[in-house]
């Protein structure tokens, strides 16, 4: 029997999603809680891997168990009691045996938050960057991403990706009245490190180092050395994972409050 | 020359507003930054005292300096550079010599936030309380507070208050779609510990220990032993301090994002 778990986590204390020797990962934390609860060794497969310190407002993972769960909602409740404060499960739901948290996912969305003013309440939940940024120009540069499909410029050297092709369906910057800049990007897939390299380069657009044309030439160059340094992990959130309607339907209560 | 400072702080690391031996206070932190910046010993007087761990989304303090500041906006900017991450200054503005952060204040507002669902991003910014609460009943009990003016039941033993009379102008509970319960209370003054004792007792109304009539009888009893234990500090925020228009007008940018 296969189940999907919907969850969120504060990445601050973790080496990322993926299990690693000698470091706390979200994957291992979730596996340990599930194994304790279900009294059998449980392995989980995540929709995507987040890096050290990166958060997830919404993530999905699947696991298999020998016998069907009698009450998945109660399993979710008990999981939350077993899990630490920084990992929260929204729900546990049965899926078809061939539903796969990673391979069945049709789209993923990431958001990145920059605080432009000092805020004592979001120190580890956003990148605090107090120099002026031209958000309108960053937004124009971001919008141009929809015209491209090869993101080699924002890939990581020696990654295992067979291709650097991503179909981006949404990319843009918005500014809230409280001075929070929000970057939203949605695509069928993302390369490792891609969102942070994009944000770092777009911030260089915003602070005047590049204009929109230069940004486009960086994308077009397919040259890993031209992107700017990656933006800090604490501002990045895996925000959504979407599946075809026949595979999995997102639960009703899957939003924590903080930014939006 | 007298100035008002508008600020916010995350109370998590502080023994509260007021200076204490051997513990970090917000008052001392602010005084130290001002004294360094202005190169003279500066003392600040706050609009109110928050207890250990209590936050301020908006607070006001006044200080005096020998010579007028040439550019108060620049002073605010430099103060933010000197202050730690968990204290943020919104602005510094000149006021009349007899304007007093505490005694001139006409109204104060506090808010208290309860997270009813597990949220990895607000662990120290709200009280996480996962048992069912009847918010509508809590709101009715809160609304009844406007009919009273003696809050001895929610005062602290041996406090220095001459009277326990407060004029409450607003009190109520609201629930957000994300399952955050917000208590708002506004009055001309508050007794020490009063808001947390009120919230603790109102939560006892919400979980069925008291009905609204019993809550009213607790208020009417003026008996310190009848209020429930105080709600935890991490959910409480000093939210507003209001002055007569002739004394001080709140700055334009005085809101950080987190809850609202």
Are B170 and B99 in contact by the 8 Å Cβ rule? The answer is: no
Place of tokens 């991403």: A145
**Residue A229, CA atoms < 13 Å, CB-side half-sphere:** 2
Give me the mean pLDDT over the B245-252 stretch. 92
Q: Where do the domains of chain B lie? A: 2-104, 107-238
Query: CA of B133: how far to CAs of A90, A112, A183, B114, in Å?
Result: 19, 34, 36, 10
For B46-72, what is each residue's pLDDT tens digit?
Answer: 999 999 999 999 999 999 999 999 999
pLDDT of the residue at A260: 46
- Binned at pLDDT 50, 70 and 90, residue A258 comes out as low
What share of chain B in percent tops pLDDT 70? 97
Close Cβ partners of B23 (under 8 Å, ≥ 6 residues apart): B14, B15
Name the least confident of A18-32, A105-119, A155-169, B213-227.
Answer: A155-169
- H-helix or E-strand containing A49? none
Q: Is B73 exposed, middle or buried (CB count within 10 Å of its CB: 0-12, 13-18, 19+)?
A: exposed
Close Cβ partners of A83 (under 8 Å, ≥ 6 residues apart): A29, A30, A33, A89
Structure tokens at A11: 């990445």
Distance CA B25, CA B45 (A): 13
**Residue A66, CA atoms < 13 Å, CB-side half-sphere:** 5
Is A51 annotated in the active site?
yes
- Binned at pLDDT 50, 70 and 90, residue B260 comes out as very low
Give me the mean pLDDT over the B32-49 stretch. 97
* Nearest CA among B118, B120, B72, B113 for reference residue B231: B113
The residue ranking higher by pLDDT, A257 or A112, is A112
For B131-168, what is each residue's pLDDT tens digit?
Answer: 999 999 999 999 999 999 999 999 987 767 789 999 99
Are A2-104 and A107-238 the same fold in CATH? yes
ipTM: 0.90
Give me the mean pLDDT over the B14-35 stretch. 97
- Binned at pLDDT 50, 70 and 90, residue A156 comes out as confident
Cα of B27 to nearest chain A Cα, Å: 16
pLDDT of the residue at B254: 78
Does residue B102 register a pLDDT over 60?
Answer: yes
Query: What CATH number was assigned to the domain covering residues B2-104?
Result: 3.30.70.580
CB–CB of A10 and B125 under 8 A?
Answer: no
Substitution target in B118, B130, B251, B254 with the highest count of A β-carbons within 10 Å is: B118
- Binned at pLDDT 50, 70 and 90, residue A177 comes out as confident
Substitution target in B6, B120, B252, B258 with the highest count of A β-carbons within 10 Å is: B120
CB–CB of B85 and A120 under 8 A?
Answer: yes
Close Cβ partners of A81 (under 8 Å, ≥ 6 residues apart): none
Are B168 and B154 in contact by the 8 Å Cβ rule? The answer is: no
Place of tokens 């630490």: A84
Alpha helix stretches (DSSP H) within chain A: 26-38, 72-82, 135-143, 194-206, 212-221
Query: What mean pLDDT value characterizes chain B?
Result: 94
Query: What CATH number was assigned to the domain covering residues A107-238?
Result: 3.30.70.660
- Binned at pLDDT 50, 70 and 90, residue B259 comes out as low
pLDDT of the residue at B258: 55
Ligand-binding annotation for B110, yes or no, is yes
């Amino acid at each position: 029997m296969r189940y999907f778990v919907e969850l969120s986590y504060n990445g601050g204390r973790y080496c990322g999603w993926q299990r690693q020797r000698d470091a706390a990962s979200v994957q291992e934390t979730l596996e340990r809680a599930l194994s304790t609860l279900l009294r059998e060794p449980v392995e989980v497969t995540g929709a995507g891997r987040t890096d050290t310190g990166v958060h997830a407002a919404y993530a999905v993972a699947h696991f298999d168990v020998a016998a069907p769960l009698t009450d998945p909602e109660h399993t979710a409740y008990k999981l939350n009691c077993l899990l630490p404060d920084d990992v929260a499960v929204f729900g546990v739901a049965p899926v078809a045996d061939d539903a796969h948290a990673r391979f069945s996912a049709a789209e993923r969305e990431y958001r990145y938050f920059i605080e432009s003013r000092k805020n004592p309440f979001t120190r580890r939940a956003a990148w605090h960057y107090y120099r002026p940024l031209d958000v309108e120009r960053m937004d124009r540069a971001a919008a141009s991403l929809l015209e491209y499909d090869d993101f080699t410029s924002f890939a990581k050297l020696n990654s295992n990706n067979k291709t650097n092709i991503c179909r981006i369906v949404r990319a843009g910057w918005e500014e809230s009245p409280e001075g929070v800049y929000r970057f939203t990007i949605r695509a069928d897939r993302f390369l490792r490190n891609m969102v942070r390299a994009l944000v770092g380069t777009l911030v260089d657009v915003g602070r005047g180092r590049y204009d929109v044309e230069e940004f486009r030439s960086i994308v077009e160059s397919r040259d890993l050395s031209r992107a700017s340094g990656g933006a800090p992990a604490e501002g990045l959130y895996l925000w959504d994972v979407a599946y075809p309607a026949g595979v999995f339907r997102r639960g009703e209560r899957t939003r924590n409050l903080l930014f939006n």
